[in-house]
């Protein structure tokens, strides 16, 4: 499947070294103001080539709107977006075209389809995430304009390094989306040493949505947390997703974990803003684990398509930590899932209106402490 979502359905297409990548966003309500320039900010945040710590492929990532927008606003027709690939270097993949790089999708694509496009990993490349971010721009805009919902994120761990403080204002001022400026120099040195060693490292991204009203999410199948987990897991290299306290809940007692309500507001947010699959009105809080990138120039023994043992060396322009560029991707997936759930909630329960009592969110930024 290359499509996700229910009332807001996103389909992506294209390969890393094909002529173009694109997406179709179907189910967009009419009247959303969208222009090609609106995509530039988030696409630039996700792009390769932004610093020496990421892949040095240089793509313009310019969006062409092919459908669904007339005189600057969505019409209700499918919104089709296209980005032409301009900086493919397919010869980097000649030597490994018939080899299975360990930790990559090469082997599983081969087993599933009996063929594969080895150029840049083809469809399995993180290049595909460009179009998720483009689609997410529309969702972020609708959520903000229609519901005052704001989606944002940051890098909450790089290898074994965690933020020693939190300032949301500095996240977009450094190449790591790191929330504590005094650590950025040390991260630069850490990444320089890692890159020289030829190895890679994992990372954690945290994303939050502020201002989500209570009621979004389906009760049994289609739970908000279930769909967020699936959406995040569909991002390349993701190996874990936590909602709220996530795996830390294992060691907690219920007396701590339950988020006490008072008329003045919730007293905590261990649940990550979701109970019974439905938003509580608190901050929705998700964190995502990225594995260390598998494209290493450190040689490794492996197997080729004929079953021979071979030495595998990956050359080319790779990310030593794919999590560094992943914050905008996780933000996009959070926004797309929320918009789909908001539309589904409106479709079934639009007549319910506001229900009292409404318990305020309480302290807004529980997520910022992590
Ligand atoms: C990627 C490998 C590299 C990255 C690419 C993701 O591609 P190439 O070998 O063609 O340079 O540059 O990322 C992007 C192109 C992008 O836009 O994110 C991989 O193996 O996933």
Task: Answer for the pair 222, 229: CB distance below 8 angstroms, yes or no.
Answer: no
Q: How far does the centroid of ligand 1 lie from the alpha carbon of residue 128, in Å?
A: 9
What is the Cα–Cα distance from 62 to 235, expressed in whole angstroms? 22
Q: What is the DSSP letter of 268?
A: -
Domains in the chain, start-ordered, CATH in brackets? 3-349 (3.60.150.10)
Task: For residue 365, name the pLDDT band (cuts at 50, 70, 90).
Answer: low
Q: How far does the centroid of ligand 1 lie from the alpha carbon of residue 125, in Å?
A: 6
Residues in the chain: 370
pLDDT in tens, 105-139: 999 999 999 999 999 999 999 999 999 999 999 99
To the question of pTM greater than 0.85 for the whole model, the response is: yes
Average pLDDT over residues 265-290: 96
Average pLDDT over residues 7-24: 98
Average pLDDT over residues 47-71: 97
Task: Answer for the pair 39, 137: CB distance below 8 angstroms, yes or no.
Answer: yes
pLDDT in tens, 153-191: 999 999 999 999 999 999 999 999 999 999 999 999 999
Residue nearest to atom 11 of ligand 1 (CA): 317
Ligand 1: nearest atom to the Cα of 130: 17
Q: Give CA 317 to chain center in angstroms.
A: 21
Average pLDDT over residues 290-309: 94
pLDDT at 302: 94
Task: Answer for the pair 277, 226: CB distance below 8 angstroms, yes or no.
Answer: yes
Residues contacting residue 116 through CB under 8 Å, at least 6 positions apart: 106, 109, 110, 122
Q: How far does the centroid of ligand 1 lie from the alpha carbon of residue 120, in Å?
A: 6
What is the Cα–Cα distance from 163 to 178, expressed in whole angstroms? 7
What is the Cα–Cα distance from 205 to 154, expressed in whole angstroms? 6
Q: How far does the centroid of ligand 1 lie from the alpha carbon of residue 336, in Å?
A: 23
DSSP string for residues in 290-312: EPPPS--SS-EEEEETTS-EEEE
Task: Answer for the pair 336, 216: CB distance below 8 angstroms, yes or no.
Answer: no
Q: How many CB atoms lie within 10 A of CB 365?
A: 14
Task: For residue 315, name the pLDDT band (cuts at 50, 70, 90).
Answer: confident
Residues contacting residue 18 through CB under 8 Å, at least 6 positions apart: 85, 117, 122
pLDDT at 316: 87
pLDDT at 370: 46
Q: How far does the centroid of ligand 1 lie from the alpha carbon of residue 51, in Å?
A: 14
What is the Cα–Cα distance from 325 to 348, expressed in whole angstroms? 37
Phi, psi values for residue 302, rounded to 5°: -155, -165
Pairing of strands 203-210, 79-84: unpaired
Q: How far does the centroid of ligand 1 lie from the alpha carbon of residue 132, in Å?
A: 15
User: Which residues form ligand 1's pocket by a CB distance below 6 Å?
Assistant: 16, 48, 55, 57, 59, 92, 120-121, 125-127, 130, 236, 295, 316-318
Task: Answer for the pair 241, 335: CB distance below 8 angstroms, yes or no.
Answer: no
What is the Cα–Cα distance from 227 to 338, expressed in whole angstroms? 9
Task: For residue 368, name the pLDDT band (cuts at 50, 70, 90).
Answer: low
What is the Cα–Cα distance from 80 to 98, expressed in whole angstroms? 34
Average pLDDT over residues 42-50: 97
Percentage of residues in the chain having pLDDT higher than 70? 98
Residue nearest to atom 9 of ligand 1 (CA): 120
Ligand 1: nearest atom to the Cα of 126: 21
Query: Any alpha helices (H) in 37-105, and if so which ranges?
Result: 40-46
Task: For residue 255, name the pLDDT band (cuts at 50, 70, 90).
Answer: very high
Ligand 1: nearest atom to the Cα of 93: 9
Contacts 24+ apart (CB under 8 A), 178-186: 178/154, 179/154, 179/155, 179/368, 186/161
Residue nearest to atom 20 of ligand 1 (CA): 125
Q: How far does the centroid of ligand 1 lie from the alpha carbon of residue 100, in Å?
A: 17
Residue nearest to atom 14 of ligand 1 (CA): 127
Q: How far does the centroid of ligand 1 lie from the alpha carbon of residue 47, in Å?
A: 10
pLDDT in tens, 193-207: 999 999 999 999 999
Distance set, CA 199 to CA 57, 251, 272, 292 (Å): 19, 33, 34, 9
Task: For residue 297, name the pLDDT band (cuts at 50, 70, 90).
Answer: confident
Ligand 1: nearest atom to the Cα of 56: 12
Pocket test for ligand 1, best of 54, 96, 127, 332 (most atoms within 8 A of CB): 127
Give the H/E segment covering residue 25: strand 20-26
Closest CA to 36 of 68, 62, 73: 62
Pocket test for ligand 1, best of 44, 104, 126, 130 (most atoms within 8 A of CB): 126
């Amino acid at each position: 499947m290359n499509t996700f979502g229910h009332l807001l359905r996103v389909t992506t297409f294209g390969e890393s070294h094909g002529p173009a990548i694109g997406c179709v966003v179907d189910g967009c309500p009419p009247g959303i103001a969208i222009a090609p320039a609106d995509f530039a900010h988030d696409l630039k945040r996700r792009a390769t080539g932004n610093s020496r710590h990421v892949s040095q492929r240089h793509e313009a990532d310019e969006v062409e709107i092919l459908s669904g927008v007339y005189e600057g606003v969505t019409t209700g027709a499918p919104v089709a977006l296209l980005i032409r690939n301009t900086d493919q270097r397919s010869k980097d993949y000649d030597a490994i075209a018939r080899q299975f790089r360990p930790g990559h999708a090469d082997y599983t694509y081969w087993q599933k389809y009996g063929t594969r496009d080895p150029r840049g990993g083809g469809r399995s490349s993180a290049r595909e995430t460009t179009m998720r971010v483009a689609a997410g721009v529309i969702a972020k805009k609708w959520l903000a304009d229609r519901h005052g919902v704001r989606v944002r994120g940051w890098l909450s761990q790089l290898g074994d390094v965690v933020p020693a403080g939190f300032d949301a204002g500095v996240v977009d001022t450094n190449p790591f989306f790191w929330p504590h400026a005094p650590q950025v120099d040390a991260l630069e040195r850490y990444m320089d040493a890692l890159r020289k060693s030829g190895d890679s490292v994992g990372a954690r991204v945290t994303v939050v949505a502020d201002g989500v009203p209570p009621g979004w999410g389906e009760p049994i199948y289609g739970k908000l947390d279930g769909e967020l987990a699936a959406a995040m897991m569909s991002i390349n290299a993701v190996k874990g997703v936590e909602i709220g306290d996530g795996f830390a809940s294992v060691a907690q007692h219920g007396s701590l974990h339950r988020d006490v309500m008072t008329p003045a507001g919730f007293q905590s947010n261990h649940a990550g803003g979701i109970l019974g699959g439905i938003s509580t009105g608190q901050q929705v809080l998700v964190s995502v684990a990225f594995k260390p990138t598998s494209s290493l120039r450190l040689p490794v023994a492996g197997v080729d398509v004929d079953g021979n043992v071979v030495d595998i060396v990956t050359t080319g322009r790779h990310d030593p930590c794919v999590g560094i560029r992943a914050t905008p991707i996780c933000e996009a997936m959070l926004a797309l899932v929320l918009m789909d759930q908001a539309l589904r909630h409106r479709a079934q329960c639009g007549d319910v209106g506001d229900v009292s009592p409404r318990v305020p969110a309480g302290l807004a930024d529980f997520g910022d402490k992590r």
